[in-house]
Amino acid sequence: EENMTVTEDFSRAENTYQMEAEVCIIFSDFGKMQNVCNLLIEKLGTSVTISPPHFYHTPEAVDTLRRQVCVAAVGNTRRKAQEVCRLVGQSLGKPLLIREEETKEWGGHVNSHLSNSSESLTLQERIQNATAYASCRVFAVFEIKGKQNRRNKLL
Calpha distance 27→40 (Å, rounded): 15
Q: Bigger pLDDT: 114 or 20?
A: 20
Q: What is the C-alpha to C-alpha distance for residues 67 and 64, in angstroms, rounded to an integer?
A: 5
* 135-153: average pLDDT: 80
- CA 59 – CA 65 distance, rounded (Å): 10
Confidence of residue 118 (pLDDT cuts 50, 70, 90): low
The least confident of 1-10, 110-119, 121-130 is: 110-119
pLDDT for 116 equals: 47
Say if residue 152's pLDDT is above 80.
Answer: no
Confidence band of 148 (pLDDT split at 50, 70, 90): low
- For the domain made up of 59-145, give the CATH fold: Translation Initiation Factor IF3 (3.30.110)
CB 74 within 8 A of CB 138: yes
- The string of DSSP codes covering 20-41 is EEEEEE--S-HHHHHHHHHHHH
Domain spans in the chain, listed from the N-terminal domain onward? 4-44, 59-145
The 10s digit of each residue's pLDDT in 39-76 is 989 998 888 888 888 888 888 989 999 999 999 999 99
CB-CB contact of 65 with 103 (8 Å): no
Report pLDDT for 138. Answer: 97
